[in-house]
Chain A
């Protein structure tokens, strides 16, 4: 079947995203002129937020190749398109690579000269090795992206079982690599902002959080695609219910991991660990922490428990949009206070660029994503697995 007939017209969607991206970019450029330090901080937040989506698209795709399930059959094209947007994230990483001393204490020689612990940590936290690691993560993600898309193309072109086996075989080791790379990327990009602090569940939080953001994002895209051919034929309320259930599971896992981290650090009460929470339990960050408990966990927990909410497209898309926002709030709560000292963190509010930068990067990223989505047919690859919803 020709791909022309099977793609939806998403140009309006793409243009809107680009417009938002450009508007956000202009705003951030203006902000950068007046406060360049803040610009880089907000940019890092936006970069991490939008990096997790394409990377996790790859992770969910591999999960689907391993365990199957209808949710993956309907999402497969979207997930593949998500991974194909990754080169754009690589471009977005370049400004960060060029500005490490602005963001990371340990990359700042003046700072490390007076800090004995950072000197001891320099074997890991040094600019050269950091960039090599970042390069390795991207190399792994891009290789998996290439294989997953290429073999999927083969499968579609009639490669059938062989291509399917290849996809399945790469997905096992690929998922192992996914977990390791996302964990270490999170330690490098996020955790090392407070280089004295550490938490071994941090990577798990990013994996689960990333899965939640990505699932919410994909629900929104699927809702849009299901309005037109060809997906309007295939998508049923039960698919949204399944995706909602996955979103529910990730929400609960996020709460579980966040709670565990807090409880363990609180119980230990060690001077190298508690500053993380002391900082975030003052001023606006405390309000935000409460907000996260209620709106990143309690509310979605109850809403997603009810099957009715998950089946109704109008409702599930609202929940998904809200969760995308809450994911940003969560990441902001982790990243933004990291740049302030413990005593003064409570006096700093989230900056307007913390919201504008994700819109800027996100708009452009979604534009690239939609462009990639339009390049391949939208007809599900294993459409027979959807027939009638029965086996």
Chain B
């Protein structure tokens, strides 16, 4: 991370410190069609991305682009409603920028969600999947460039990108609420074209259970900065070639809409103990 990038992180964090009544412990990154959880935040302070200095602004429809900060089940949270993606043309450093800003504000936990395509044939559209591990198939890494020593080390360990304790917690909460929570490996791809059936077979061979176009850069940056991460995918569709029919973004948002209640219940159960 260049000196300039570091300065921008500090300026963005400085702005948020000025407008937020309380600093966050937990960052919520809400994926396609899953932004509604931010509406449950009590005494919310809402800050559009475009008001935060240097903050990248999302271009894809369905991603609102604002920060909602406040209390959720007694915890200080900050939700990123809408996120930016590599496929929008941003570099990986920029995609990871908001995570660094949140870390700079003192947040130590990241709860990250996404919509993804199911590769594991036992999955069904509408399933929720706890991310156990990830495969970076994006050909990008947010840590390329000079290292920002104040955030983390040059060669960060990735042996446990998704925190074991938090995964255990998520499984416990799910079981307690009678919610089926799958578990698997998330493969992050560049997009924006959906994968071909041959690519899905390849990813399956490589050990992936689900595929999507986000999450991986944010999680790398979060781990670099020593945050504990919990990741949950909403399987919004089965990936190309599995059901033998075309994929559409409409299907993704539709499925995400159907499971929003269950998803919220799960996250609301997890957050107090994160």
Partners in one complex: no
